[in-house]
A and B are shown apart, each in its own frame.
Chain A
Amino acid sequence: MSELAIDREIDRSKMQVSDEVAIEITNMNKWYGSFHVLRDINLTVNQGERIVIAGPSGSGKSTLIRCLNALEEHQQGTIIVDGTELSNDLKNIDKIRSEVGMVFQHFNLFPHLTILENCTLAPIWVRKTPKKEAEERAMHFLEKVKIPDQALKYPGQLSGGQQQRVAIARSLCMMPRIMLFDEPTSALDPEMIKEVLDTMIELAEEGMTMLCVTHEMGFARQVANRVIFMDAGQIVEQNEPEEFFNNPKSERTKLFLSQILGH
C-alpha cells in the first residue's frame, strides 16, 4: 500500500480535543460462536479526537467500530457512547444510532431513492424534521461534499467516489456528534480515494470526533491524533502518529508497518 500524499495545508485550529468523553469502552469482549474476535478492549475517546484504527485483516478493527453503534452485539463489558450505555434496550440503541454517523466500505446508499431522498430520509423519519428543512440541510451538506448538482440523480448513476461522499453527507444530515468510518476508501479506484479523503479532512478540520478504520497511512499521519494498532482482536499498540510510525514499540507493529509502507 503506497502512502497517498495529502497536498494541502491542514487547518488544525479547530482540531482540538476536549476533556469531554465521547466513547468509553471497558473490558469489552465479543465472540462469533466460539471464536473470540475482540479480547478485553479498553478504549476511551474524547470529544474531538481523530482516531485511526489499523491492523491486518481479520484483526477485529471493523468489528470494534461496528460494536459502537450496535451493528454487532458485544457479549461482555460496557460501551458508553455519548453518555448512553449500549444494552439490549432498543430505545438506547436507536438513540445512539441517531447520534453516531457511519460510513461503510460499500457506501450502502439506498438505490431506489434519489441522492436528496437518501439524505433526507432519516432526518424526516427519525428526527421528525419538517421536509423543507431536511432538504435545505441536505443541500447544505451536499454542497460541502461538492456534489449539489447530483441531488436528483440516483446512486447508480454516480461514480464510487461521489457515492461515498453522498454517504458521508447522508450521515452528516443526522447531525451526529461522532462519525465512524469503516474502510471508506477500500472499494474505490485510486483516482477517487483523494476526493473522499479530502472530504474527511474537512470534517476533521471542523472538530468532528472520528474513528476511522483505514489503510490510508497518509491520512493517519496528518489528520489523526492517535493511531491504534490491532491484531488478533486486541489493541496491541496506540500512540500519536509521529511516534507510531517512526518509533513503533511492538514487534507485531514493526512487521505490519514494514509490510504496508516499506517498498
Chain B
Amino acid sequence: MSDVSFVRTEMLPEQAPPASEVGALGWVKHNLFSSWFNTILTVVSLYAIYYVLSGVLPWIFQSVWNADSLNECREIMMATWGSTHGHACWAVINDRWLQLLFGFYPSHLYWRPILALVLLLVALAPVLYSDRVPTKMLIFSAIYPFLMPFLMWGGTIWGPISAALGFVAGWFVYSVLSKQVSELVGMIGAVVAAVIWWLVLSSYFTGAMSSVLPIGIEAVESRQFGGFMLAILLGVVAIGVSLPIGIVLALGRQSDLLIVKYLCVGFIEFIRGVPLITLLFVASLLLNLFLPPGTNFDIILRVMIMMTLFSAAYMAEVIRGGLAALPRGQYEGADSLGLNYWQAQRLIIMPQALKISIPGIVSTFIGIFKDTTLVSIIGLFDVIGLASAIRADTAWNGIYWELFAFIALLFFIVCFSMSRYSMYLERKLQTGHR
C-alpha cells in the first residue's frame, strides 16, 4: 500500500477565466454559436428578423401624414412612390387622434381628463414607489378617488363630498362600536351606516347643499365619454377596486365561517363561469328592467361595477394561489406570538402572499385593462368603437391597419409599463431565499 497521507501547505490563488469565456466575444460564442445547430438557428433567426423589418419599417416610415381622406392619401402615394402598396396612411391618425383619445368629450374641457390623468400619476406615486415618495402623499391618494369623478363628470362638488362622507360615517360607527362591542360588530355596523348614508341620506344632503352653496363645474354626460380615455377610466377603477375585493374574497374562501366561505366560493365560481360580455349585457340592458322606473343608474358606473366584480373573482383565485404557497409555519409563527387574525393577515400573511402573486395579479390587471375594449359591443364609444365609427365615415372608408396599429401602440405602452413595474417590484421585494 502506498503512502496516502498528504497535507496541503499553501492554498492555490484564484485565477482569471480564459478570454473566450468573458466579454462580448464570450457572450456571442455562448449564446449564438455554441454548436453547429445553434449557429444554423442564429442565421435563420437573423434572416427572419430582417425579412419582417424590411417589410414593416418602410410601411411605417415611408408614409403619408397629411391628407383629408383615404383617396387623397393614395394619390399622394402614387405621386411619390408610384404604388399604394407598402405605405401607411397616418393621415387618419393625424386627423382623428383627439377623437381616438377623448371620444366625444367636449374639446374645450379636454384639460379635465388630462389633469385627472396627471393627478392619477401623482396619486399612484406614493403607492407604487413607497420608498422614494414621502408617505404623507398618501393623503392625496385617498382624496383622488373622489376628486377624479368630479373632474371627469363635473357637476356639483357636493356629490363627491357626500360620497366621501359615507366613508367618514362608516369609520365613525366602526370606531365607536369596535371599542364598545367587538370588531366584527363594528365592521358590520360601519358597512350598514355607509350604505344607509349613500342610498338614503346622501341625495338629500347633496340637494340641500347645492341649493345653499352652488359650487360646481360644467357637467359632462356619460355618453360623451369615449376613446382611450374610457379604457383608462374603466381600467383604473376595475384594477384599483378589484384588488382589495379580491383579497377579501380570497380570505373569505379560506375562512372557517361556513356561510362566509360558501358565499365567497359561490360568487367567485359564478363570476368566473360567465363570460365578461354577458355581464356587460346584463349591465347595459337587463339591469334597467329590474330597477324601479326613473332611476338614473349611470351606464359607465354599471359597466365599472361589472368589470370590477369580474376582475375581483379572478384576483381572488390568484391571491388564493399565493396564500396556498405560504408554509403553515408562517401562520403558526404569527399565532405563537399572540397576533390576532387580522394582524397576522395584514403583517405576515398578505405581504408574502401578495408578493408571490405579483405576476398573476399583474396578468389579471393587464387582462382586465384590455377587456375594457369589450364595452364597444354594448354601444360605448371606446377606441375600438371609434375606429369603426371612423371607418364608417366616407373619407376614411376602407382603412384598417393604421387605426388598429395606433390602438395597439396605445395599449402596448400601458400594458408594457405595468409588466415592467411588476418586475421592478419583484426585484425590490426580493429578500433572499425563503
Contacts and interface: CB of A to CB of B under 8 A. Distances in A.
Nearest to A70: B335
B431 A174 contact: no
B333 interface: yes
Interface string A136-149: 00000000000000
B432 A98 contact: no
A94 B343 CA distance: 12
A212 to B, nearest CB: 15
Nearest to A123: B337
Contacts of A110: 330, 333-334, 348, 352
A108 B333 contact: yes
Contacts of A21: none
Nearest to B333: A108
B332 to A, nearest CB: 6
Given A111-B352, A112-B429, A156-B431, A121 B347 contact: yes
A108 B329 contact: yes
A22 interface: no
Contacts of A71: 332, 335-336
| Chain A: interface size category | 20 to 34
B132 interface: no
Contacts of B351: 112
Given A125-B347, A154-B432, A69 B330 contact: no
Given A111-B352, A112-B352, A155-B432, A97 B335 contact: yes
A231 B352 CA distance: 38
Nearest to B346: A125
A106 interface: yes
Contact of B332 (A104, A170, A174): A104
Interface string B398-434: 0000000000000000000000000000000101111
B334 to A, nearest CB: 8
A27 interface: no
Contacts of B333: 104, 108-110
Contacts of A156: 431-434
A222 B432 CA distance: 37
Interface residues of B, number: 23
A89 to B, nearest CB: 13
B432 A122 contact: no
A97 B337 contact: yes
A157 B432 contact: yes
A126 B434 contact: no
Given A104-B329, A108-B332, A112-B351, A122 B337 contact: yes
A98 B351 CA distance: 23
B339 interface: yes
B272 interface: no
Contact of B329 (A69, A98, A106, A170): A106
Interface in B348-374: 348, 351-352, 355
Contacts of B335: 69-71, 97
22 contacts: A69-B335, A94-B338, A94-B340, A95-B338, A97-B336, A100-B336, A106-B329, A109-B333, A110-B330, A111-B431, A111-B434, A112-B352, A121-B339, A121-B347, A125-B339, A125-B343, A125-B347, A126-B337, A126-B339, A154-B432, A156-B434, A170-B337
Given A97-B336, A112-B355, 16 more contacts: A71-B335, A90-B340, A95-B338, A106-B327, A108-B333, A108-B336, A110-B352, A111-B432, A121-B347, A121-B348, A122-B337, A122-B338, A122-B339, A125-B347, A170-B337, A171-B337
The 3 tightest CB contacts between A and B, nearest first, are A156-B432, A108-B333, A98-B338
